Structure 1
């Protein structure tokens, strides 16, 4: 059972781009080697003031620098399919254990260089589990194998 996310990740993405974080904080978040490194970065606590942060916060902060926000953007899986990212790379994220799965996901985001709907993507990261990974894979395949209009 997941706990409801106590904040809006689209707002959080705006905070990342605002003066809440200085350039050093943003650079430190971008250069973290793994999600658990976030705990040692002041930028994490500036993004989540007054909150006792845990793994969901670390995952979100770890990926925040790698995708802009666009309301109603296509799901990540669909964008990966449209960008012709290989099935093997998407499945590698889904089959990997923590923290390797999130590290692989960050590599995909860096390659994709896109905008995501951070309300939806943030929720996916907050609840990150087997179901979330399956949703990513499902969105990928639904977009990849959608029949063109008129096809049967």
Structure 2
């Protein structure tokens, strides 16, 4: 079984959740708070056996409420954050993204979720989920590189 299939299964489970449990997941302020929400366990069931995998699934479920939708276009998360909005500005400022990159867990994920909540991106969920699954200094740097590759300055 391919991890992409697992990511899409998680996304489908999320979309099928009733509004009440979805709202509970939206209201948490940190990945650790998910452990007190029954809906988290409905989504989590069987997705990770090793401790690092459980933490990775926790990151996915923490960010899922802030994702507006899925697209089949192979657009990276960094490119989505660099996408121009009204006024020609990127959806997310460099400064905010650098705050995430420079922060350590769990604050980096809390700040990143705030960005996602603000932007409400439509993403290629498997591609975005892979970034969150392997969230570390390298994936943060990749996110930043994709942001700058898709947000050329004048």
Structure 1 range deviating more: 41-50 or 30-39? 41-50
Q: TM-score by structure 2 length?
A: 0.83
Displacement of 1:49 in angstroms is: 2.1
1:2-151 equivalent positions in 2, closer than 5 A: 5=3, 8-18=6-16, 21-51=17-47, 54-67=54-67, 68-83=69-84, 84=90, 85-145=92-152
Structure 1 segments unaligned to the other structure (5+ residues): 148-152
Q: Which runs of 5+ in 2 are unaligned?
A: 85-89
After superposition, what is the alpha-carbon deviation per residue over 1:55-91, rounded to whole angstroms, capped at 9, x for unaligned? 1111111100111211225211112112312111111
Assess if the C-alpha contact under 8 Å between 1:10 and 1:119 holds in 2.
yes
Counterpart-to-counterpart distance in 2, 1:7 and 1:100: 29
Aligned length: 142
Structure with higher Rg: it is 1
Which portions of structure 1, spanning 4 or more consecutive aligned residues, are displaced by more than 6 angstroms? none
Q: Quick check: which one's helix share is greater?
A: 2
CA RMSD in angstroms comes to: 2.1
